[in-house]
Structure formats: C-alpha cells, structure tokens
Amino acid sequence: MTRIIANRRAFIKTTAAGAAMLAAPTIFRSTPARAAGVVNVWTYANFLPPEFKEEFQKETGIQIQERLVDDQGKQFNLLTAEQPNPTVDIVTVAGHRFLQFIDAGLLAPIDTARLKNWGNINPVFSESDWAIIKDQKWGTPILSGAEVLAYNTEAVTPEEAKSWDAMFDKKYEGQTAYIIQDMMSVMMLYKGYDGNMVKYMNDPAKAAEIVKEVRDFMIANKSMVRKFYDSGAEIQQMFVNQDVVLAHAWNGPISKLIMDGMPVAMTIPKEGSYGFVYTFNIPKNAPNADNAYTLLDALLARPEIGANMTRTSGFISTIKGAGDHLNDLEKKASSFSEEELAGLQFFRAEANDMKYKLVDPAVEEIKAA
C-alpha cells in the first residue's frame, strides 16, 4: 500500500505538470519558421520521446521546435488561420479526421518514396482503407489507440467491465466519467447502430432518430456521471484522486496509469468500441518539408524508437517489432486480447459532416439537461 500511495503522490505531481502543459501549449522559437536547420512540429505531449529528439538533433543538426496541441479542432483552426503560409512542418492528425484537413487544402500528400523506412510500418496501418483518400496517402501512421472502458481494479471486477452496462450500474452512480462526443459514438455501437453513421448517409432521418435516442439515453443516465471531462490528463487525475471508478477513455492516458503501478485496468467491452490511428502529416506549403521527411524517416528507423513512443505516450506503436522492446508491464498496458480486438472497429470519416451536424447540438443538450 505504501508503494501505491507514493506512486499516486508522484503521479499527481507529474500529471499536474502535464496538465499545465496541455492547458497552455508552448512553442520554442529561437529561429524563424523557415530555416535550414529547423523542423516545426505540432503534436501531443510525449509523442516525441526526449531521447529521440536529443539523438535526432545531434545526428542531423536539425533543431526540433515543438508546439503541444491537445485538440484536433484547435489544430485545424490554427492551421487554417495560417494558410497559405503555415509556420509548421509536421502536424498530428487522427486518420478519421483526414477528410476535414484534406478538403480544406491544409495537407500535402505523403511521398512514401522519400521514406526509405516506410516498410517498417505494420501494413495493418500503412495500407488500410482509411489511409488512402483520393488515391493518395496523407499521413505517416505513428501510434494507434482505442476508446476503452477503464476501471479501478479495487472497486470494479473484470467480469463487470466486460460490458458497457457497468457505466450505468446504479452502484457506481456519480463515479463515472467520459467525453460526451466520444461517448456518443460508442453508445450508438452499444445500442446496435453504426457509430460512424456511414450506413445512414442516404437516410438522414434515421441518423437523426439514432442521435436523439442516444442523447435521451445519456440524459436519463446523467446522474451516473461525476464529470464530463476534456483531456487525458484530467481523467488520469480523477483516477489518481479516486474520484471515479469507471470511465470511457482513450487507451493512452490509461496505459500511463497502468505503467505507473496504479490499480487501474482497461478493456474493450463485448459490445465493441472504436479505434483510431494518429499520423504525422506534412502541411501544404510547409516551410521546411525536406527536414520534415528527414524527421519522419528517423522515427521509423528502428523498433526501439516505436517502443519508446509507446512508453512515453501510452499509445500503441505502428512500427513492426516495437512490442519486443517493451517489458511485461508495458506490454500489459499497451495490448488487448484477441477477443477484445475482435470488437474493435476503426473510426471512418465518410459521414462526418452529417454525423457531427447532429451530434454537436446533442452534446450541448446533454450538458444543459
């Protein structure tokens, strides 16, 4: 117990620091955006391991100027505001958000011929349907994740966590948390619908009916929720403080808790969930595109780098063989059983325009209820 308490105290300190960084993204600019020895990267906290950055800068002479982001929408808005002359060379876009960035003319296609280490990516990620739009590839897959059911192992049993039903069990009233918009997609799946809403692209009335059903269900069960949260650091802190015992979350932040020795586990319930892939992308008119390709190729060079990215971010590396360089606890924190994976679907973007025109107002109605 003493070890766990010490870990919790230490984690509170590190998580608070991480939360502050996410709340106030920083940018280090000692040189102009366009410079021979610079690559400007917008990415999430811990996606670029410190050891990799130090090694890359020493070997290439290229300085990594990193700006932390915490939201896809904010990143889209910032990149849009900077067009046609962005200050960034690499952005971090989730695969299911590609269309939004591509249709807005914000990204350049990835020239895989310039990446001699492209073959080191697991083809499950590099050659998937979602990765190809308009017959071109638009990103370099770096980390994959899933929306999971996370639970305190001292309060919730693995058997209970096999179903999303646990989130609505009255004995856990006031002890659950989730991001509303993300939870809505999973709840569509929970109720037997297509959470991507691709099936309803030609039936907008059916789509509206489904969103209304899920909205009403979440409002009816609003007493179960301790807090609607926004960031990974926030849900980590709630588990550390024991404010919640169950949560719908991204696997990355939960993996970090498990690696820290916290009494937390995660699963993909029997009703299923959604997975996503983070990619590094080169914006249209990137000021230092050559340096961006140099950085991307370096990231793909060795499985040890992928393992370190998993270790620092909590998400699963896309690089072949990365798992061989993780210890047993790290593997446990970044893998799922075949049974769990069978219920995992990738987010798709085809119906996003219709979907979010319905979902976004529903989110506000749930908050206001």
Model pLDDT for residues 275-307, shown as the tens digit of each residue: 889 999 999 999 999 999 999 999 999 999 999
At 299-337, the pLDDT tens digits run 999 999 999 999 988 888 999 999 899 998 888 888 788
- What band does 40 get if pLDDT is binned at 50, 70 and 90? very high
- Per-residue pLDDT for 28 more than 80? no
**Cβ atoms of 314 and 235 closer than 8 Å:** no
- What band does 109 get if pLDDT is binned at 50, 70 and 90? very high
**Cβ atoms of 275 and 344 closer than 8 Å:** yes
At 350-362, the pLDDT tens digits run 888 899 899 999 9
Closest listed residue to residue 360, CA positions, set 352, 75, 216, 197: 352
Task: Give me the pLDDT at residue 314, please.
Answer: 85
Q: Checking DSSP bridges between strand 140-152 and strand 273-281, what pairing results, if any?
A: antiparallel
The CA-atom distances, in angstroms, between 38 and each of 33, 134, 139, 290, 301 are: 7, 31, 20, 10, 20
- What band does 29 get if pLDDT is binned at 50, 70 and 90? very low
- Per-residue pLDDT for 170 more than 90? yes
Model pTM?
0.73
> Of 88-102, 126-140, 209-223, 346-360, which one has max mean pLDDT?
209-223
Give the DSSP per-residue string, 93-145. Answer: EEGGGHHHHHHTT-BPPP-GGG-TTGGGB-HHHHTSGGGEETTEE--EEEEEE
Q: Which helix (H) or strand (E) holds 225?
A: strand 225-228
- Per-residue pLDDT for 7 more than 90? no
